[in-house]
Amino acid sequence: MSEQVRKLEPNALWNHFGDLNAVPRPSKKEERVIQFMVDFGKNLGLETHTDKIGNIIIKKPATSGMEDRQTVILQSHVDMVHQKNNDTDFDFDKEGIKMVVDGDWVKAEGTTLGADNGLGVATIMALLSSDDIPHPALEAMFTVDEETGMTGAKELDPSFYDGTILLNLDTEDDDELSIGCAGGIDTNTRYEYEELYSLEDVQAYRVEIKGLKGGHSGMDIDKGRANANKLMARFIYEAGMDVMLHSFDGGGLRNAIPREAVAVVSVLTLDQDNFESFVKKIKDELYTEFDPVEPNLTIELTKVDTPDKMVSGYEREKMIRSLYALHNGVFKLSLKFEGLVETSSSLARVSIKNGLFETKSLQRSSVESTKKDVANTIKCSFELMGAEVEQTGDYPGWEPNPDSAILKTMTKMYKDRFNKDPKVQACHAGLECGILGTHLPNVDMISFGPNIRHAHSPDECAQISSTKKFWDFLLDVLKETPKK
């Protein structure tokens, strides 16, 4: 199936994407893709390095006649989000992504595609391996661990770079030029709770919420999509104290909106009919509420054997009330950019089992003071119930510069080529530009990319025609790079 992808245009770009997608590359396990990129650069005879954290640097001299142009840094990250549907049999540590062409889109079979940010990486690879594309001197910056902490950007060694323009190829709408982004902070909590032996004469049920769209917890946070963890907390809360909780397992990656959650609960045998009636009622409520945006939402109820232990009623109330009350979604809209989400929070992970309650959430904001505010809001919600709270991975946003020289150049070029103005805006995602700017303060930065939809979910797809549009525009930009 992936052979279909290799026949697409621009051919060099899609072939490099196919090669890259054959290499497992989860965040914090990038050893194989680092070696793959080092071998790629050296096999081309190009100057190739890695810094102490593992970022790869590949340099290519300017083509004839372009030696007097400013050096351009081309930047993308090599790691990808590994997510799959529950019914998909796939080992991310051993298998390459299985790609398919569906009309004008490239998708994967039940897993994330890796277009975020693999298409950016493949684009740079196509430029580095070309022998007929005019370009200034290029410095390829391939960073590691973007998806789980931006470690590569944070630990970047700036001494490897002389470029004065940086093109980040990690946004997901081909009509946008991004000049700013949100910073972020992770809030992780831990609480040991009391377990009791389960009651007799009860019926246990496995409750599964699934079929949600999920997506990127920054770019998709304003689309009204359901969070499986929040829905499950609501379900258990509304079920009432007569329902006993044994376990709760929802969500996964810190930067993905949870698509699925599973809980095991039990009720007294004589209450089975009432409980099953309640489930039907709340199903109808949620289907009605979310039908416009979550048409595939399902809630499945399955009878199971009763586990040996359950959460005490007092502890159940503390945990479920905290989850139900927790802010999730858009926290504040920008006062400077119309329609832009300034601040948000996403409850990414919930686990209740074996006497331990843990959560992971991610707060984002393009304003540092508001990021602190929402992070404290989440922190206090859990501290009130007695949980331990640790906040880590704090990284800055990217302050927009509307007077950017490269922005003015690219805006004019976009309008000349496509006969319309691009959307110049900041985005509510954690681009590495904010961090890179602290290492390279005199570099003029901008971010753009092809259309990618449903990143961080198994529905991720990349538009073929848009990728060609993005590629052609990038070649124009390189051809017209300003002189030194």
In the set 139, 146, 147, 260, the catalytic residue is 146
Nearest to 53 by CA among 435, 448, 365, 441: 435
- Rounded CA separation 235/298 (Å): 13
The answer to whether 432 is a known catalytic residue is no
Dig out the tokens for 475 from the structure: 């070649």
Answer positive or negative: Cα dihedral of 194, 197, 200, 204: positive
- Rounded CA separation 423/252 (Å): 33
Tokens 């393009």 belong to 366
In the set 79, 173, 260, 444, the catalytic residue is 79
Rounded to 5 degrees, φ, ψ at 320 are -70, -40
Dig out the tokens for 451 from the structure: 């259309």
CB 138 within 8 A of CB 59: yes
The answer to whether 146 is a known catalytic residue is yes
- Rounded CA separation 399/90 (Å): 40
* Residues assigned a catalytic role: 79, 146
